[in-house]
Amino acid sequence: MARVRNDGTTDPEMHGVVVGGTCEYTEGGGAYADVYDVRRHDGSVFRARSLELVKTNPKFSELVDLILVRLYDLERNARPGGLFDVNAIVRTLKDKFPEQWVFDAGKVLESRGWGQVLFTFGGGFHARLTGEGRLYVEEERGTGIIKQYRMHPEYFVIETPETNKAAAAGTTGATAIEQERAPALQIVAQLREMLRVESTLSAAERDDLLSDVEMVEQQLKKREPNRAALAALLEPLARVTSIAGLVSELVRLLNP
């Protein structure tokens, strides 16, 4: 929330999270007076009436900070080395963020050395903090929202067993890959079975195409598949009429 100035613009120094307030009603009905307590990023609190406040849109930098502090907390109660579904983490936040922001936040964690990140098909990612990322959280760097979260996590997170289950479980890198790419791997299994019974292929053609399918599967099980290699492997498979539709569906999954 931010206080609105007399000219209608928001005051950049007077914004934060509502942490309390009072509402006084006139006996017998009629007018009432409401005043809210708003905690700023530096921990100080200012008071304002509802007519003086306006809801502000959350910032990308605040999303990054919230992801970092949530990862920190989840790691403390999970098995060592686990990766966490960051898309599930973001769904537990009360503020809503664009999907592209979530993906870009993963790029920031990776490029700045704050997290070990596994990007998955479909625009999601799993992650765990590096030592530098843990220091960032413990020193409450960034926008100031980490400090606010520490004082009042209930203002930022929807805490229910259902919403936190997927994020809190933690998975190994290999398990995360298998889970996220399960639909693509199922299509690969179908391609293999259909090629084995395809009557229009010679034995040599069938063997070559099955070899391509095997290499596609190997690429999909890697942390970072070689997309150029996948495109080259799928091109001859797409020319087989009976499986062309499945190949197209696989391409769609790989390029959401």
Shared domain for 46 and 20, answered yes or no, is yes
How many other CB atoms sit within 10 Å of the CB of residue 82? Answer: 18
The residue among 29, 54, 79 that closes a domain is: 54
Shared domain for 189 and 237, answered yes or no, is yes
Residue appearing with tokens 């693509």: 184
Shared domain for 217 and 152, answered yes or no, is no
Shared domain for 76 and 158, answered yes or no, is yes
Tell me, what CATH number does 137's domain have?
1.10.10.10
How many domains would you assign to the chain? 3
The per-residue pLDDT for 161 is 60
**Strand arrangement, sheet containing 32-39:** 17-25, 32-39, 45-48
The per-residue pLDDT for 15 is 67
Positions in the chain whose pLDDT score sits under 70? 1, 8, 10, 12, 15, 24-33, 41-42, 55, 80-81, 120-123, 159-180, 223, 256
CA-based diameter of the chain, in Å? 91
Boundaries of domain holding 158: 60-173
DSSP assignment string, 54-108: EPPPPPHHHHHHHHHHHHHHHHTTS-TT-BEEHHHHHHTBSS---HHHHHHHHHH
The per-residue pLDDT for 203 is 93
Shared domain for 89 and 115, answered yes or no, is yes
The token duo for 130 is 């590096």
The per-residue pLDDT for 191 is 94
The per-residue pLDDT for 61 is 95
Shared domain for 42 and 130, answered yes or no, is no
Shared domain for 38 and 65, answered yes or no, is no
Measured CA to CA, the distance from residue 122 to residue 253 in angstroms comes to 7
Shared domain for 67 and 155, answered yes or no, is yes
The residue among 33, 54, 75 that closes a domain is: 54
The per-residue pLDDT for 31 is 58
